[in-house]
Amino acid sequence: MIRLAIAQIDTVLGDVEANLETHMARIDEAVQAKADLVVFPELSLTGYALQDLTAAVARRPMADDPVFQTLLTASQRTDLLVGFVEHDKRHRIYNSAAYLSQGEILSVHRKVYLPTYGLFDESRFFAWGDSIRAFNTRFGRLGVLICEDFWHASPPYLLWLDGADILLFISASPGRGLDAEQTLESARWVEHVAQAYASLFTTFVTNVGRVGFEDGLGFWGGSVVFDPHGELLARGPYHEESLFVVELDLQQLNRARTRLPLLRDERTDLVQRELLRIRHSGLPESGKRPE
Partner 1 sequence: MKQDEINLEINPALARKILTGFIRSETSRVGFERAVVGLSGGVDSSLTCALAAEALGPENVMAVRMPYTTSSPDSLEHAGLVIEMTGVQEVTLPISEAADALIGAIPEDQQVRRGNIMARMRMIVLYDQSAEFHGLVIGTGNKTEKLLGYTTQFGDAASAISPLGDLYKTQVRPLAVEMGVPEVILEKPPSADLWIGQTDEGELGFTYEEVDKLLYLLVDRRHSPDDCVDAGFDRGFVENVSELMRRNHFKRVMPPIAKLSNRTIGYDFLYMRDWGT
Stretch that binds partner 1, among 78-86, 87-95, 147-155, 175-183 (CB under 8 A): 175-183
Q: Select from 214, 223, 248, 253 the one that contacts partner 1 (CB under 8 A).
A: 214
Q: Are 27 and 228 in contact (CB under 8 A)?
A: no
Determine phi and psi for 168, rounding to 5 degrees. Answer: -105, 105
How are strands ordered across the β-sheet holding 135-137?
Answer: 135-137, 140-146, 166-170, 204-208, 224-226, 232-235
User: Applying CB under 8 A, does 117 fall inside the site for partner 1?
Assistant: no
> Residue 290 gets which letter from DSSP?
P
User: Applying CB under 8 A, does 19 fall inside the site for partner 1?
Assistant: no
Minimum CB distance to partner 1 smaller for 36 or for 191: 191
User: Applying CB under 8 A, does 216 fall inside the site for partner 1?
Assistant: yes
DSSP structure string for 62-119? STTSHHHHHHHHHTTTSEEEEEEEEE-TTS-EEEEEEEEETTEEEEEEEPS----STT
Q: Dihedral angle at the C-alpha atoms of 221, 222, 228, 231, nearest 10 degrees?
A: 180
| Residues binding partner 1: number (CB under 8 A) | 24
Stretch that binds partner 1, among 26-34, 97-105, 172-180, 248-256 (CB under 8 A): 172-180
Mask: binding to partner 1, 221-260, rule CB under 8 A, as x and -? Answer: -----------------xx---------------------
User: Cβ of residue 220: shortest distance to partner 1, in angstroms?
Assistant: 8
User: Applying CB under 8 A, does 181 fall inside the site for partner 1?
Assistant: yes
Q: Which helix (H) or strand (E) holds 195?
A: helix 185-201
Say how many C-beta atoms besides its own lie within 10 A of residue 274's C-beta.
11
User: Applying CB under 8 A, does 182 fall inside the site for partner 1?
Assistant: yes
Q: CA-to-CA distance for 261 and 202, rounded, in angstroms?
A: 8
Minimum CB distance to partner 1 smaller for 12 or for 250: 12
**Which positions from 27 through 56 interact with partner 1, judged by CB under 8 A?**
49, 51-53
User: Applying CB under 8 A, does 12 fall inside the site for partner 1?
Assistant: yes
User: Cβ of residue 50: shortest distance to partner 1, in angstroms?
Assistant: 8
Q: Are 10 and 115 in contact (CB under 8 A)?
A: no
Q: CA-to-CA distance for 96 and 43, rounded, in angstroms?
A: 7
Stretch that binds partner 1, among 85-93, 94-102, 209-217, 263-271 (CB under 8 A): 209-217
Q: Which helix (H) or strand (E) holds 280?
A: helix 268-281
Q: Select from 213, 247, 274, 280 the one that contacts partner 1 (CB under 8 A).
A: 213
Contact footprint for partner 1 (CB under 8 A): 12-15, 49, 51-53, 175, 178-184, 212-216, 218, 238-239
